[in-house]
Structure 1
């Protein structure tokens, strides 16, 4: 897909996405504008070693068992609201 003057590639295959997420140095993120870097700095914009370090820190929060518990609570909240 073209986003302005730059092409963008969207990966929908989970295995390909996993490969891209683990090979930090093979798949670099595209350059962003300085304004975007100023307004949206954080984990999603990190690259290389800094990204790997922060990914290692937050990965336990996305453990499958923890996500199952979270999904259960979210599902019950939606049922109560409806």
Structure 2
């Protein structure tokens, strides 16, 4: 059985979730001075479940934007690359 075709709206929604997640990490680190953020709490604040949080964190970590500093939990730190990415995108849009 073939997988269902890609739905552009679902792809767009996933991209928006990843951006919101990374932006919230940036705000926590740069604005609130909290270098380590509980990824589960952040996801809950965004209305995401744990599976989505893990998927997003893994994607962001694969791209070097975040680092998971915990073995079994989801304690995240935004990296310098992640900060630069957020600031470039923010400045480009505004």
TM-score of the superposition, structure 1-length normalised? 0.31
TM-score of the superposition, structure 2-length normalised? 0.28
Which structure's residues are more often strand, by fraction? 2
Structure of greater Rg: 1
